[in-house]
Amino acid sequence: MPEKINRIYPDDAVILAPLAGFTDIAYRRSARRHGCQFAFTEMVDAGALAHGAGRTIKMLSRGNDEPWLGAQLVGAVPAEIAEAAKIVSDMDFDVLDFNLGCPAPKVAKKGEGAALASKPEAAAKAFEALARNSRIPATAKIRILHPKDPVPTIHLAKLLDDTGAKAITIHGRTKKQFYSGPVNLEIIRAVADSVSCQVVANGGVTGLRSYKETRHGTGLNAVMVARGAMGNPWIFDELKSPGNWRPPTPGDLADEIEHHVLDMIADDGLELGLKKARKIILDYMKGRGFPRVLKTHVITIANEKDLRKFTSQLRLGLAKRGISWFEKHPDAKRRLTLVAPDV
């Protein structure tokens, strides 16, 4: 694989993906508490931004404590993309990314995201509008276009490379696969061998084992983590310092949930912050052995007192049934340290 020059990301970079409806300031701060350096805003609609939607501007807020932050636009109309790129360029961002990988129906029906990528020439034209009007490095995020044949994806990547992409992140699943099924690392590798810009591997990284498999299978040393970080900011500790990492204790989990949700309340107000926090709390609990009945209590949290009462239940740890499940599934993707290290 040829050496890439003027790379966006250094060796061993682990990047938090732009996640629509998730990666706001509070979410990113949670990840950064556990070693995340490179992160993105939520995906922002270029048309809404170009036409001055206030909520869209707020999605581009950057904390004073954030060391590196990229913004991501999605769109299909070159004129709107160009105007949105100019707006973002006047803000404090390190990279401007263009989404050509989102498979969500509400995005696809507008001909954006992965739907636009299925028309490589149109996708390249849209990306060129972004790159020409951006005063910061322009990058793109795509999916593979065929589950076995690398040629269509290589064609798209070369067009993006030729129109100014400084890096391309490739999710190794097709639009049809969404977020499940095998990740084709070979196609990612083939694309990386075919373009001059930096390539970042994405898809299916949920822990150290899948991270190592991704790096080995693609030959790439920059990896983007998406769903594997949902409710699991400790993944950055695990991937960056595997020798010193241990799963969170119930107390660690409760502390992080409190910190994260209180940040959301500070940013969005009590009512909206708690409404948005419900899915966040459930993500933290997912796959960690807590009973379903406790999860149903999330919807009853109406204030900070309720939040602390709820997290106090988490601090008690798992019932015998949850502990037994983990004992039978030592390779579970989500784990808890059930006994404190110094006991």
215-269 pLDDT, tens digit each:
999 999 999 999 999 999 999 999 999 888 999 999 999 999 999 999 999 999 9
Q: What is the pLDDT of residue 56?
A: 84
- Tell me the per-residue pLDDT of 52-96, one tens digit each, with 9 for 90 and over: 866 788 899 999 999 999 999 999 999 999 999 999 999 999 999
Mean pLDDT over each residue of the chain, to the nearest integer:
94
CA 254 vs CA 29, 133, 238, 258, 261: distances in Å: 16, 44, 19, 6, 11
304 versus 336: which is more confidently predicted? 304
CA distances from 318 to 156, 238, 325 (A): 48, 22, 10
Residue in the structure block whose two tokens are 């299916």: 204
Task: Give the active site residue among 13, 100, 102, 144.
Answer: 102
Under 8 Å between Cβ of 81 and 129: yes
Looking at 36-133, list the stretches that DSSP marks H as alpha helix, in order from N- to C-terminal side. 46-50, 54-58, 78-89, 105-108, 114-117, 120-133
Return the SS3 of 237. helix
pTM above 0.85, yes or no: yes
What does the CA dihedral 8, 10, 14, 17 come to, rounded to 10 degrees? Answer: 0
Instruction: Tell me 329's DSSP state.
Output: -
Amino acid letter for position 53: A
Which of 70, 88, 85 lies closest to 17, judged by CA?
70
For the chain, domain boundaries: 14-240, 250-324
Name the CATH topology of 14-240.
TIM Barrel (3.20.20)
User: Residue 5 — pLDDT band, cuts 50, 70, 90?
Assistant: low
pLDDT in tens, 277-316: 999 999 999 999 899 999 999 999 999 999 999 999 999 9
For residue range 262-272, list pLDDT tens digits in order: 999 999 999 99
Judge whether 197 counts as a catalytic residue: no
* pLDDT at position 3: 57
- Examine the pLDDT at 341 and tell me if it is beyond 50: no
Torsion of CA 269, 270, 274, 276, to 10 degrees: -20
Do 151 and 122 contact (CB within 8 A), yes or no?
A: no
Confidence at residue 1, expressed as pLDDT on a 0 to 100 scale: 54
Looking at the predicted structure, is the pLDDT value of residue 331 above 90?
A: no
319 pLDDT tier (thresholds 50, 70, 90): confident
